[in-house]
Structure formats: structure tokens, C-alpha cells
Amino acid sequence: MAPRKHRCFLTLAFSLSIFSLWPLWLACSRRASPPRAYLAFVANQGSDSIAVVDLARFRVLVTLPVAPSPQQVLRRPGSSELYALSAQGTISVVAFPALHVVKTLHVGRSARHLVFTPDGEHAFVLGPAPGEIVFLACDPIRELARVGLGVQLSNLALTPDGKTLVAAASAANRLFLVGVDSQKPLASIAVGQGPGPMVILPDGSRAFVADTGEAKISAVDIASRQILSHLEIGNAPGALVLKPDGGELFVLSAQAATMTIVDASHDNVEEIVPTGRQPMAATSRQDSSVLYIASAGDGSVSTFDVQNRVVLASTHVGGEPCALALTPDERFLAVADCGSGSLTVIRADRSTLLTTIPVGVRPTDVTVPDWTWEK
């Protein structure tokens, strides 16, 4: 038998070895934990359907026929419903967990840009008539009113408090503010050429709009209803993505394959960084540490370190990635690929491709609610 001192030493050494392996054991335990059964809902514009994908088992649960050419799919806040808006101007309401279409509402051909109030009680969509905004109640879905602004509208956004609609009129180079309660225009503000995609700061103080007809974005003060600045960014802007805390704005420029980073608090261009070819969409982690960028021109998704301004990884996903959605636990990134007709699933923390799932013809949008599938 070993002397007492030797036994104590061996016991101590064994204990230290166990503690040294503790972080590795924890990491293995975390890796071994099964993924939660979130569902990805994918709008297939070419096959007139919504594919429902189980992200725990990587399979299509069901394919739901909807109105022709669905282009947008959104969860209605505070509910177990999704709204799929078609290019034909029909909203199909999908119920969870039943997973079937329970109601449809036709608002008019070419309706687009569906947005919800934060409580999900009301929604708004650009109507088919020039300058028309359609006001909807959601429980049950029905039309309330139509407000005409007299010029063709291109994009629609809503302030976080749900009180003011901001509509972009591309041909008129203006933004219109419309009161939700009054259902009346409040102001018309001149901006740059071809205003399109918009974002609004979390406090509702400012709206930023991409002036797609020139290399600028415009910042508008919503309370005073005045233009604050025109920011030169060097290339024509496309999609806009705001950090969750509102501190920085990321402006994608598809033609130039660049992303401009803007200080949203001080209206200042911080940096222009290269991306993949034709960046089309991006999404951020909730802690704002990482931005994922889909580049349709080279079929890749880039993982961008926001603080250090470097690309951590580039993952080839297919033909033409055009829409992204993180799972609520931010474990997986779902990528809709309108070129290959598939949904690619990426392990978000490692930027590794896990699987590619055929979902339909020309998927154009994807959303992953915080529901889980238990069946």
C-alpha cells in the first residue's frame, strides 16, 4: 500500500485532473444536447406553397398550398398564426400547431410589405392602388380601411410603438408619415432618389431609408418630421439591417459587393467593408456580436465579427441564398436558397453546413418562430 503522503498526493493529482477536464466535459455535454424542435416556415414563390421544416430532425413536415406566388411569411406577434402574403394580393393565415390554412383575405393584386403592430392586433400592407395603405384587424383577419396618398409606394415600416407608419414613395423621392389611430397622413418629407428599404431605431426617433437611385441613405427625424442628413456611402444601397440595440446600421450594396457600417446615433459612416458578390440579406445575433450575410452572387453566407470588423468564416450553401433566419436559441441559421429550391441549415456558432433540404420552387422568405414541435 502506498504511504499516506503518496496516497494524498495521488488523490490530489486525480482531483486536479478531473477539474482540468471539467470544461471539456461541459463542452461535450453542450454539444451532445439535442436541438430544440423549432419549425422553419419557407415561402416558395415558384410552387405556391409554404414548406414547414422540422429543424431538430431536418425534414419537411408538411407542404401547405397557399395563394399563388407567396413572397413574405411572418408570424403574427402574440399569436400562434403565420401570415403568408402572395404577389397576387392574398393573405393566407396558417395556424399552429394544426399546420393548415384557416383563413384567406384578398386585398388586391400586387399587395406587398406586410407589417404588424407589436401586439399583433393590427396589420398594414401596401395596396394595389397607387399610394394605398390597407389597414387590417387580425382577430379575426378583416379589412378596416384604405388610406390613399396619391403616389406609388415602394416600402412600408412601422414605428416600434405602433403609432406611425412610414411609407416610401420611390418615384416621388419622399417619405410619408401616416397616423395609425387617425388613419390620416401626417407629413411628407423629401429624401434622396428612389427611396426603398427602411429601418426605424428601437426608440422610434429616426428612420433610415436606402436611396436606391444614388449612393446615399437618408436619416429622418420622426418627431419633428424633418430630414436630418443625407449620408454618402459610395455605392447604391440595398437592404438595411439594424443592430438589435440600434447603435449601428449595416447597409448592403449588391452591385459593389460591399457593406457600409453607419453609426446610427450620430449619422456617421464608420467603415465600408467587402462582402461576397451580390449581398442580398443579413441578420444579427441578439447580442450584436455577429452578423450573417447572404450573398446571392457566389452562393455563400459570411459570418462577420461586428466588433473586430473581420469575416470569421464563409460557408458555401448553394445557388442563390436570399433570406436568413436564426432559430430563437441562435443555434442554427436557416438559409432559403431561391436558386436551388432548398433550405440550408448551418450550425451558427461554428459556421458549418449541417444539411440541405429540398423545400420547393424558388423559396424567397423564411421565418422561425419560438414554437416547438412536440409530435
Give pLDDT tens digits for 285-320. Answer: 999 999 999 999 999 999 999 999 999 999 999 889
**In the predicted model, what is the mean pLDDT of residues 5-20?**
40
Which of left, alpha, beta for 204 (phi over 0: left; psi -120 to 50: alpha)? left
**In the predicted model, what is the mean pLDDT of residues 141-157?**
95
Domain boundaries, the chain: 275-375
Phi first, then psi, for residue 115 (nearest 5°) are: -135, 150
pTM of the full structure:
0.89
- Which pLDDT score is estimated for 4? 46
pLDDT-derived band at 130 (thresholds 50, 70, 90) equals confident
- Which pLDDT score is estimated for 319? 86
| 116-125, 184-193, 314-323, 360-369: segment of lowest average pLDDT | 314-323
Count CB neighbours of 225 within 10 A. Answer: 14
Superfamily grouping for domain 275-375: TolB, C-terminal domain (2.120.10.30)
The percentage of residues in the chain with a pLDDT greater than 70, rounded to a whole number, is 91
Phi first, then psi, for residue 339 (nearest 5°) are: -80, -40
**In the predicted model, what is the mean pLDDT of residues 121-127?**
96
CA distances from 173 to 21, 164, 170, 194, 266 (A): 62, 19, 5, 6, 23
- Which pLDDT score is estimated for 8? 42
pLDDT tens-digit profile of 204-220? 999 999 999 999 999 99
Count CB neighbours of 110 within 10 A. Answer: 12
Q: How distant is the alpha carbon of residue 367 from its chain centre?
A: 8
Question: Contact at 8 Å (CB) between 227 and 189?
Answer: yes
Among 225, 226, 228, which residue's Cα sits nearest to residue 217?
228
Mean pLDDT score across all residues of the chain: 90
- Cell numbers representing residue 247 in the block: 447603435
pLDDT-derived band at 375 (thresholds 50, 70, 90) equals low
pLDDT-derived band at 268 (thresholds 50, 70, 90) equals very high
d(CA 353, CA 16): 37
Beta bridge partners, 315, equal 301
Which of left, alpha, beta for 328 (phi over 0: left; psi -120 to 50: alpha)? alpha
pLDDT-derived band at 34 (thresholds 50, 70, 90) equals low
**In the predicted model, what is the mean pLDDT of residues 147-157?**
94
**Residue 234: is its pLDDT beyond 80?**
yes
The percentage of residues in the chain with a pLDDT greater than 90, rounded to a whole number, is 85
